[in-house]
Structure 1
Amino acid sequence: MTSTRWTRLAAPTFAPTIALSAALALATMAPAQATTDQVGPVHPVATWGASADKVAGEAGAAGITDRSVRNLVHTSLGGSGVRITLSNAFGDRPVTFTSAHLGVAAAGAAVVAGTNRPVSFEGADEVTVAPGAEVISDPVEASVPADTTLALSFHVVGASGPITGHNVAMQTSYVAGAAGDIAGDEAGAGFTSEIPSWYWVESVVVTKPRRVKTAVLFGDSITDGNGSSVGANRRWPDALADRVATSRLHGRYGVMNEGISANRVLADGTGGQRALDRFRRDVLDQPGVSMVVVLAGINDIRWDLATDASALVAGYRDLIAQAHAEDLCIVGVTLTPYEGGSRYTPERERVRTAVNEWIRTSGEFDDVVDFDAATRDPARPSRFLPAYDSGDHLHPGDAGYAAMAEAFDLGLLGCER
């Protein structure tokens, strides 16, 4: 599926581009030869994404004034015709961005020499995004590699007001320490403030043949990667993208991580809009989507929004109906154990067990992945296998996220309705 907002960006053919890679630091830039990715019918596919939310805390509420921002994000899929989206979904005023650049990240806030390319919006180097809106850039005449950290930089003109972004990035990004535009600088020295969130950037999209699709992984902090190593790209969606890259499906799927820490299915809260309401923006409206994997509900149980299985079953049925109305495959995932974690009780454990039984046996999802079975301690199934526990008993660590990705049957990515 390609959503309405992306359909106008698809084109029948695509021209050769210049490679945007670390190799440019060592060699003279030259036009790349046309590849099979650049011939025939094409469409937009996401190589990276993060759900938009209000940036928490005093800094997020106050925003920034006349500062440059450098977000570091990690691709799942290589490709050309690169576009970025900037979101002001939760802003209270128009925000103007200028001097947007895309390059390959080096150490810290630096960009690999020769890779920092300007990004335009309808031919201009400045764009104003209304509150509640987002913008899609023009394609950058460059190709980005798979499995690579990019630096997305821009300058915010004037006072931004509340920041739209993504709170738990598990990646360090940067804001300039002084006023002024340094987004085009490849040196990172001026970006002196480290931030744990992504500011305003929502997705990175490449142009691919129509056989290539986007897989959206949708959920809460366990999809978000909370508990994984910061800057190491070891969330379960990253581990899944790595598996795809070394399989027969190499180059066939981009992976978007649309998890929000503390998110709930049934109610808004500190984790942003409830899953039922953000599903349209974060899944159905994304480019080239063929399937979605849903891992959500543990926070509804922990906060007693679901005191038995029925409330979450109703929520899952709503998500299934939304997906199927768009001819989208939807895969359900069992909820991982959390004995010893925050707000665990035997009563809530019984709800989790009942919900997982429904996910496994109802047949209402197009398919099911059993992350509960993949991560639990066989000697005590209500808790994580110790090797998979991040230490808080609620979130997996790097090894647990890797085990989840290993438990995912890659054949499910080809699900069709």
Structure 2
Amino acid sequence: MRAGFPRRGVAAAVAALLCVPLVASAAQAHTPPEPAAGAGRHFAVTWAASADRQGAGPAERSYRLVVRTSVGGAALRIRLTNAFGDHPVTFASAYAGLQRQGAELIRGSNRRLTFGGQPSVTVPAGETVLSDPLPGKVAAQSDLVVSLYVTGAQGPTSGHGMAMQTSYAAAGDHAAEEAATSWTDPMTSWYWLDAVSVQTSTAISSVAVLGDSITDGWASSTDRNRRWPDYLSRRLQAATDSPVKGVANAGISGNKVLADGAGEAALRRFDRDVLAQPGVGTVFVFEGINDLKAHTGVTVDDLTTGYRQLADRAHAAGTCVVGATVMAYKGWYEYDVAGETVRQGVNDWIRHSGVFDAVVDFDTITRSPYDRQALLPVFDGGDHLHPNDKGMQAMADAVALAALRCHR
């Protein structure tokens, strides 16, 4: 049993997943309907990992993807993506269960997912698909396992390269199996799956964190869920007075606000990775270091114009927007005075422009008091840019939970 998943929580989650037979209407198409207006419930994203273009993957392969839920709820559904594919891809079978250890599932927890009432679905190039809701409940902070059997894959795949989580692959169709026997190929990326949502009260919402490698968890401990959004998720679950319970991690290592590269630019992927996620009431913007440290001539005006566009689009969608200052990076191999000058100017704008509904000053929290251009050594993951587990927790602890709410 994995740490952080109490025995009673496992038993309750398994019982809930098994409590209702799977029923789906063949007329449901690929996007299941939201609850009726006034029903007091809606879907909220409980996990996400923004996709990018990955290398060609072998056909006729199964993927066992391990993810951690944030908010709990009923009617679990997954989103599968072929956003970066050049050809259609078929998901011949898909299952959702609970992890016991490694690739092994808790007995009796693995249940088939359907798509428009069918056990398989073909997703055209450039598109995504939602599964039908799975009857039953899943608990918050669950180690959820989505198993997919993928056929006909050609060319580039869509997925999340740096998962900081061990998942598994196998040749052939083993998605329905709960044993770990066939799953002999560990991997540290998530393929095809980019979001999971659950149905919960309309009083509950999620926060989507738009970020880069720091949000993605680089330098945090693999398989321990110690990215700073994970620490934030645990704080939100423990807070009895916070209606924000879901956390969607929309970080991509190397991502920039303004330019494509490691993933599409934040400005380009914002709708798919953030605004399209259900139940998002707050957008948390924490990007910019890759724009300013790459010696590309990006100015304060360039970057702050990008932030303003993100904030305007989020506000137009009816969500709150929180901005975070860009952290120190002296000692990183791309550090120079010109980039540092831009960082200071950008942070001054974030703190004082009033564009964001709230500001979290990650820079002040994590920098050294002896050198304000460098990370505090106890938070430094070793490369002078990415915080370690302690730094990640300090970042999450610096977020005033009330800052994740506004009156929009």
* TM-score (ref. length: structure 2): 0.90
Report if the CA contact (8 A) 2:242-2:402 is conserved.
no
Structure 1 unpaired stretches of 5+: 1-19, 33-38, 56-60
- 1:249-289 CA distances to partner (integer Å, 9 max, x unpaired)? 466421100011100011101x1100111111111111011
The answer for the alignment partner of 1:211 in structure 2 is: 203
1:120 counterpart = 2:114? yes
CA distance in 2, matches of 1:302, 1:26: 47
Alignment of 1:144-183 (within 5 A): 144-176=138-170, 178=171, 180-183=172-175
- Give the CA deviation at 1:62: 2.0
Distance 1:396 1:29 in 2: 37
Structure 2 letter corresponding to 1:31: C
The alpha-carbon deviation at position 40 of structure 1 amounts to 4.1
For residue 22 of structure 1, report the CA deviation from its aligned partner. 2.8
SS at structure 1 position matched to 2:180: coil
Cα distance in structure 1, aligned partners of 2:51 and 2:363: 28
Post-superposition shift, 1:235? 0.5
CA distance in 2, matches of 1:27, 1:247: 26
- On the 8 A contact 2:323/2:358 being kept in 1, the answer is yes
Answer yes or no: is the 8 Å Cα contact 1:77–1:251 preserved in 2. no
After superposition, what is the alpha-carbon deviation per residue over 1:311-336, rounded to whole angstroms, capped at 9, x for unaligned? 10111111112112212211110001
Partner of 1:131: 125
Q: Which moved more, 1:245-254 or 1:284-293?
A: 245-254
After superposition, residues 213-292 of structure 1 pair within 5 angstroms as: 213-249=205-241, 252-269=244-261, 271-292=262-283
Match of 2:11 among 23, 27, 35: 23
Q: Is the 8 A contact 1:64 1:161 kept in 2?
A: no
Residue 230 of structure 2 aligns to a residue in which SS?
helix
State the match for 2:314 in structure 1. 323
- Contact 1:90–1:162 under 8 Å retained in 2: yes
- Corresponding residue number in structure 2 for 1:14: none
Q: State the Cα distance separating 1:28 from its structure 2 match.
A: 11
Deviations 1:209-248 (A, max 9, x none): 1111111011111111111101100111100011111112
Task: Tell me which amino acid in the other structure corresponds to 1:263.
Answer: N
Aligned equivalents of 2:16, 2:395: Cα separation in 1: 42
* Structure-to-structure mapping, 1:95-114, within 5 angstroms: 95-114=89-108
Give the Å deviation of 1:189. 1.7
Amino acid at match of 2:142: T
Cα 1:379–1:130 shift into 2, 3 Å: same
Alignment of 1:301-320 (within 5 A): 301-320=292-311
Q: Show CA shifts across 1:34-55 (max 9, x none).
A: xxxxx94211001101111112
List alignment gaps of at least 5 residues for structure 2.
1-7, 21-37
- 1:295 and 2:294 matched: no
Name the CA distance, whole Å, in 1 between partners of 2:371 and 2:241.
Answer: 36
Cα offset, 1:21, TM superposition: 6.1
Alpha-carbon distance in structure 1 between the residues aligned to 2:296 and 2:400: 31
Of stretches 117-126 and 320-329 in structure 1, the one that deviates more from structure 2 is: 320-329
Q: CA offset at residue 306 of structure 1?
A: 4.6
Separation in 2 of the partners of 1:295 and 1:78? 25
Q: How far is 1:149 from its partner?
A: 1.2
Q: Which residue identity is paired with 1:170?
A: M
| Residue 69 (structure 1) aligned with residue 69 (structure 2) | no
Q: Which amino acid aligns with 1:276?
A: L
Deviations 1:146-192 (A, max 9, x none): 1121110010123343110111111111110x3x2110110112111
Whether the 8 Å CA contact 2:233–2:247 is kept in 1: the answer is yes
Tell me how far apart the structure 2 counterparts of residues 333 and 129 of structure 1 sit (CA, whole Å). Answer: 36
Q: Is the 8 A contact 1:239 1:402 kept in 2?
A: yes
**Match for 1:336 among 323, 327, 349?**
327
Partner of 1:254, secondary structure, is strand
1:31 & 1:405 partners in 2: Cα distance? 36
**Structure 2: which amino acid aligns with 1:119?**
L
User: 2:82 & 2:359 partners in 1: Cα distance?
Assistant: 34
SS of the equivalent of 1:294 reads strand
1:87 paired residue among 70, 81, 88: 81
Name the SS for the 2:292 alignment partner: helix
Query: Which residue number in structure 1 is paired with residue 45 of structure 2?
Result: 46
How many residues are matched?
Answer: 386
How far apart, CA to CA, are the structure 2 residues paired with 1:206 and 1:381?
42
CA 1:195/1:322 → structure 2, altered by over 3 Å: closer, same or farther? same
1:286 and 1:188, CA in 2 relative to 1: closer, same or farther beyond 3 A? same
Give the TM-score normalised by structure 1. 0.89
Residue 29 to residue 339, structure 1, CA distance change in 2 (3 Å): closer
Contact 2:321 2:356 in 1 (8 A): yes
Distance 2:229 2:387 in 1: 13
Matched, 1:375 2:363: no
Q: 1:259 to 1:364 in 2, by over 3 A?
A: same
TM-aligned CA distance change 1:93 to 1:26, over 3 Å = closer
Alignment partner, residue 27 of structure 2: none
Residue in 1 that maps onto 2:24: none
Alignment partner for residue 352 of structure 1, among 343, 351, 374? 343
Report if aligned partners of 1:75, 1:147 keep a CA contact under 8 Å in 2.
yes
Cα distance change on mapping 1:348 and 1:209 into 2, 3 Å: same
What CA distance in whole angstroms lies between the structure 2 residues aligned with 1:27 and 1:273? 41
CA-CA distance at 1:76 after TM superposition: 0.6
Q: CA RMSD in A?
A: 2.1
In the alignment, the residues of structure 2 paired with residue 28 and residue 367 of structure 1 have an alpha-carbon distance, to the nearest angstrom, of 38
Determine the C-alpha separation between the residues in 2 that align with 1:306 and 1:329: 31
Name the SS for the 1:103 alignment partner.
strand
